[in-house]
């Protein structure tokens, strides 16, 4: 009887201990709450998560024993779930365990648009992979802990518990400074959007994914890549955005820009020129980086037909198509400083007729564009031209791009392209 009582008490203690441990999952401590952390998973439901590019949750994920579980029914083309909210700068921590040979991942800054069928063509990925038991040959850039197809971790400091055991990972993204952590140890560190970063992006797996990794904010994404995987204690702490002063044009060459199309872009005597080429088609010169909230000023002179423009929050949809919103630069009588949408709604705001004479023909003009959230204001030579609030612009993000219109005969000079992020 005495032994039975002892066994019973030990069982109760074990049950209490197990219950206590279970209760500690998917909750924040008082200090974490005070420090600004929030849970992305409540331990009971998939509230706050939905399909990538969707409005509800239909992908094969479920909640079991306080964990989000991928059933293993996903593939390269499906099985992705994302947060309802977008995040920009943050610390993101989560616990995870894989099945034998498992393959999954945590993606961030994922952009949702109909043009993107899968999230990894825009969002960087912290790779989760059972390297030892994965059934197929893998490259170094595919292994556990990598910034997928970009940066490798320091294997000498990385400790990973085997499949079926819980691990903890963390991503820090702080205004372009990126860190990967594994079980409390920093395994990887790099700076996004540097020359080195762009060289890696443009020479490897992402060479044909022009918008990969450029977004400064986006949804968080979990991947079901055909193997069961479990996640818990998913929590995030947002970090502040820093302002930055950027000279978009260095007066020497086209560093920091990418040309699309066959029209001519060149530097001569410290000026940036766009000029019609023999094909007489549309052409674009886009910043290689995204700029979302900013105050931009530049000068332009229309040396021939001045039908051009400045695109904001734009992205490359196809080889020579920029999708976004255009601040018009055009000959007198054609709404310089107005706002045109390159798809769908066309003119959002044209300028009053009495302001057409603000444009100085064959002389230098100063254009200023301020974009913050859904609010855009333009000025030409110090005079306000457009003051607009627009929800679609507010939800957009992307590059700044200079345009040369089709039809031929166009030549515009540009200088002093300066921007401050907001």
Average pLDDT over residues 373-386: 98
Residue 378: closest CA among 353, 400, 349: 349
- Residue 264 inside a domain? The answer is yes
Which of these three, 222, 238, 254, is where a domain ends?
238
Residues 353, 264 share a domain? yes
Q: Does residue 9 lie within any of the structural domains? A: no
**3 state SS of 341:** strand
- 11 within a domain of the structure (yes/no): no
The CATH number covering residue 51 comes to 2.60.120.560
Task: Give the tokens for residue 227.
Answer: 């193997």
Asked which of 219, 238, 257 is the last residue of a domain, the reply is 238
Q: Are residues 183 and 93 in the same domain?
A: yes
Domain count, the chain: 2
Select from 215, 238, 261 the last residue of a domain.
Answer: 238
Tell me the H-state helices in 86-189. Answer: none
**pLDDT tops 80 at residue 398:** yes
- Residue 360 falls inside a structural domain: yes
Count of Cβ atoms closer than 10 Å to residue 132 Cβ: 11
Query: Is 185 in the same domain as 310?
Result: no
How crowded is residue 403: how many other Cβ atoms within 10 Å of its Cβ? 27
Tens of pLDDT, residue by residue over 122-157, are: 999 999 999 999 999 999 999 999 999 999 999 999
Buried b (16+ CB within 10 A) or exposed e, 55-72: eeeebebeeeebbbbbbb
Measured distance CA(124)–CA(139) in Å, rounded? 17
State CA 232 to chain mean position distance: 24
pTM (predicted TM-score)? 0.90
Q: Same structural domain for residues 234 and 251?
A: no
**What number of helices (H) and strands (E) belong to the chain?**
4, 28
Q: Are residues 312 and 415 in the same domain?
A: yes
Residues 63-92 pLDDT 10s: 999 999 998 888 888 899 999 999 999 999
Tokens standing for residue 201: 């992006």
H-run or E-run covering 420:
strand 411-421
161 is a domain residue: yes
DSSP letter, residue 241: P
Those residues whose C-beta lies under 8 Å from the C-beta of residue 257, and which sit 6 or more positions away, are 248, 249, 265, 285, 286, 287, 288
Residues 214 and 319 in one domain: no
Domain containing 302 equals 245-421
Least-confidence region, from 12-16, 76-80, 344-348, 350-354: 12-16
- Residues linked to residue 322 through DSSP beta bridges, in sequence order: 316
Write the DSSP string, 252-299: SS-TTEEEESSSEEEEETTEEEEE--TT---EEEEEEEE--SEEEEEE
């Amino acid at each position: 009887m005495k032994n039975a009582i002892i066994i019973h008490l030990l069982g109760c203690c074990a049950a209490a201990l197990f219950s206590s441990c279970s209760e500690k999952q998917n909750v924040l401590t008082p200090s974490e709450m005070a420090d600004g952390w929030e849970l992305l998973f409540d331990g009971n439901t998939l509230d706050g998560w939905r399909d990538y590019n969707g409005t509800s949750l239909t992908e094969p994920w479920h909640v079991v024993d306080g964990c989000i579980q991928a059933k293993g029914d996903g593939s390269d083309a499906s099985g992705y779930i994302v947060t309802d909210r977008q995040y920009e700068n943050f610390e993101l921590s989560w616990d995870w365990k894989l099945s034998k040979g498992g393959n999954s991942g945590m993606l961030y800054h994922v952009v949702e648009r109909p043009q993107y069928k899968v999230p990894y063509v825009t969002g960087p990925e912290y790779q989760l992979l059972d390297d030892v038991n994965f059934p197929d040959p893998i490259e170094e850039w595919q292994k556990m802990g990598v910034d997928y197809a970009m940066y490798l971790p320091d294997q000498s400091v990385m400790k990973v518990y085997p499949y079926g055991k819980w691990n903890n990972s963390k991503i820090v993204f702080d205004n372009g400074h990126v860190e990967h952590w594994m079980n409390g140890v920093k395994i990887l560190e790099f700076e996004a959007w540097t020359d080195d970063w762009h060289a890696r992006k443009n020479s490897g797996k992402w060479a044909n994914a022009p918008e990969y990794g450029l977004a400064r904010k986006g949804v968080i994404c979990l991947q079901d890549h055909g193997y069961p995987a479990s996640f818990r204690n998913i929590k995030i702490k947002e970090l502040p955005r820093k302002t930055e002063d950027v000279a978009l044009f260095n007066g020497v060459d086209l560093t920091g820009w990418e040309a699309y199309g066959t029209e001519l872009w060149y530097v001569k005597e410290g000026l940036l020129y766009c000029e019609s080429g023999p094909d007489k088609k549309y052409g674009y010169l886009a910043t290689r980086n995204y700029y979302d909230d900013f105050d931009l000023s530049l000068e332009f002179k229309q040396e021939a037909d001045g039908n051009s423009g400045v695109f904001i929050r734009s992205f490359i949809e196809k080889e020579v198509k920029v999708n976004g919103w255009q601040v018009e630069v055009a000959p007198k009588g054609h709404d310089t400083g107005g706002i045109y949408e390159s798809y769908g709604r066309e003119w959002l705001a044209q300028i009053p007729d009495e302001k057409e004479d603000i444009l100085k023909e064959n002389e230098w003009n100063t254009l200023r564009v301020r974009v913050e959230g859904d609010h855009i204001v333009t000025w030409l030579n110090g005079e306000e031209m457009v003051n607009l609030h627009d929800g679609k612009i507010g939800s957009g993000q992307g590059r700044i791009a200079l345009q040369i219109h089709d039809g031929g005969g166009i030549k515009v000079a540009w200088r002093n392209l300066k921007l401050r992020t907001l």
